Chains A and B, each alone.
Chain A
Amino acid sequence: MNDRYKAGTLLLAGAIGVLVATYGSLPTSTNAQQADAAWTQTRTAWGDPDLQGVWRYEGAIPLERPARFAGRESLTDEEVAQIQKVEEEQAAQRLAGAEGAAVARRSVGESPIRGNEYNSFWQDHGRPRQVSKQTSLVVDPRDGRIPYTPDAKKANERASARYGVGPYESFLDPDTGERCLTDGVTALMWQGPNGGHNRIVQSPGFVTILHEEYLDRRIIPVDGRAHGSIRQWLGNAVGKWEGDSFVVDTTNFIDRTNYEWAAIFTRPSETLHLVERFKRTSANSMEYRITVEDPATFVKPWTAVIPITRLGDDTQIYEYACHEGNYAMTNLLAGGRVDAAKKR
């Protein structure tokens, strides 16, 4: 797994905030659901389940199961309490302003912030991370690991090794995210800065999802039509309702396996088939389930269950004109020239 995703998933930046001080402890997802036991699924004016609002992932669950939890699908209450304690300590460090000198210069693994190069001043710590018993987002295969093909495993290791390091000989060498293109549809609902912000808007016959980063948007017909034939970066999606679950089937991705990806599991190929299930579990929580099938990258399909959280009604999606301000592109190519000169 790419370091960004390790750090991003394990130490998600948009995590801990002033609320810890305000509320005293972090909510577990179980508690959050219990609090809304009386909730029933609301409906749109035309009768569809209402999923609208801005959603993001705020969990503390790693994508793949860490080795220390091998063979276990859930944590004990004691382990949950321990993780919660760590989350609170990290929040307290941030609130005390200790993350710079005292924290951020420690190793990446120890740092409470995603990455090790920015302090929390630059990060959005608006809400506490939700601790839950789930040991990995991946629930199938049962070992909680993504079943890469041997070639994809190598590609993933290579991507991880070169992440942020290069070599950068051309504009093609940064990954698609660094190039302001996309990080792929597979992780759209739960990745991105601070857990991603996704606005779901419904109208009769359509569900639209606007992802803030790169302003990726998906306009999903829910009218029984078949897949279109045009291949696209984000594929061709068709949706349907199964009870209160919104099921999206996406195929016809364009092959971009030859591009650099921050995480190989998000790269599209012509054989990628993505099935997503959105099921609201309370006023402010949703179970988002994906099943990813692609013989170009995986030996068998895998499924992840991601709890996502609805943000307040006043939450907005903002501009993301990434290309226009991507000074990093020139900077990293300039840095690449320095590296190349040293090697001569």
Chain B
Amino acid sequence: MSTKFATLLLGVLGLASSAGPAVAHHAFAAEFDATKPIKLKGTVAKMEWINPHTWLHLDVKRPDGKTERWMIEGGPPNALYRRGFTKNSLPIGSELVVEGFRAKDGSLKGNGRELTFADGRRLFVGSSGTGAPRDGKDR
């Protein structure tokens, strides 16, 4: 997959290993379709730091050259901030791969479950500094 030209992979891959319906801390199954996993590669257009969930806006270039603006639901902003996530963590224009599930109504929305930079770095996981929980150090 080229890092220059973002590619949209959208398919009904199924959830072979999932033993039960997705259960969320809010209405996941009402908003998103657990049978429609998405994998989006695009560039960050905007990050909405809003409660109860953040929303990441991602510009995704389709194979036909058209660009689509996707909205990806993320975790609560307060939780992200406590993890060390700041507005500098996902600069506008950074390339990102998002995996999640598409909105039930077929609109260009989804929830984000995996976030990986185009070069393979995963946000926070296994990294020092940015990955260190802020309120974990005081124990």
Residues of A within 8 A of B (CB): 3-4, 7-8, 13-14, 17-19, 94-97, 100-101, 104-110, 114-127, 163-166, 168, 174, 177-178, 180, 193-194, 197, 212, 311-315, 318-322, 324-328, 331-332, 334-339
Contacts and interface: CB of A to CB of B under 8 A. Distances in A.
Majority secondary structure of chain A interface residues (helix, strand, loop or mixed): loop
B139 A334 contact: no
Given A105-B18, A322-B52, A328-B52, A114 B125 contact: no
Given A124-B82, A324-B50, A117 B105 contact: no
Contacts of B27: 163-166, 168, 174, 178, 328, 332
B1 interface: no
B79 interface: yes
B114 A121 contact: yes
Nearest to A311: B135
A205 B34 CA distance: 52
Given A17-B133, A119-B114, A168 B30 contact: yes
Given A107-B18, A164-B28, A123 B23 contact: no
Nearest to B111: A117
Q: How large is the interface on B (under 10, 10 to 19, 20 to 34, 35 or more residues)?
A: 35 or more
B30 A18 contact: no
B118 to A, nearest CB: 16
Interface of B: 15, 17-34, 48, 50-53, 55, 71, 73-83, 99-101, 103-107, 109, 111-115, 122-126, 131-139
Nearest to A125: B133
B24 A115 contact: yes
A118 B105 contact: no
B61 to A, nearest CB: 24
B10 to A, nearest CB: 17
A108 B22 contact: yes
A119 B106 CA distance: 23
Nearest to A177: B26
Contact of A124 (B20, B79, B122, B137): B79
A332 B31 contact: yes
Contacts of B101: 117
A97 B122 contact: yes
19 contacts: A18-B133, A97-B125, A106-B18, A108-B23, A109-B19, A115-B22, A115-B28, A116-B18, A124-B79, A164-B22, A165-B29, A168-B30, A194-B79, A212-B78, A314-B135, A321-B51, A325-B51, A328-B31, A334-B105
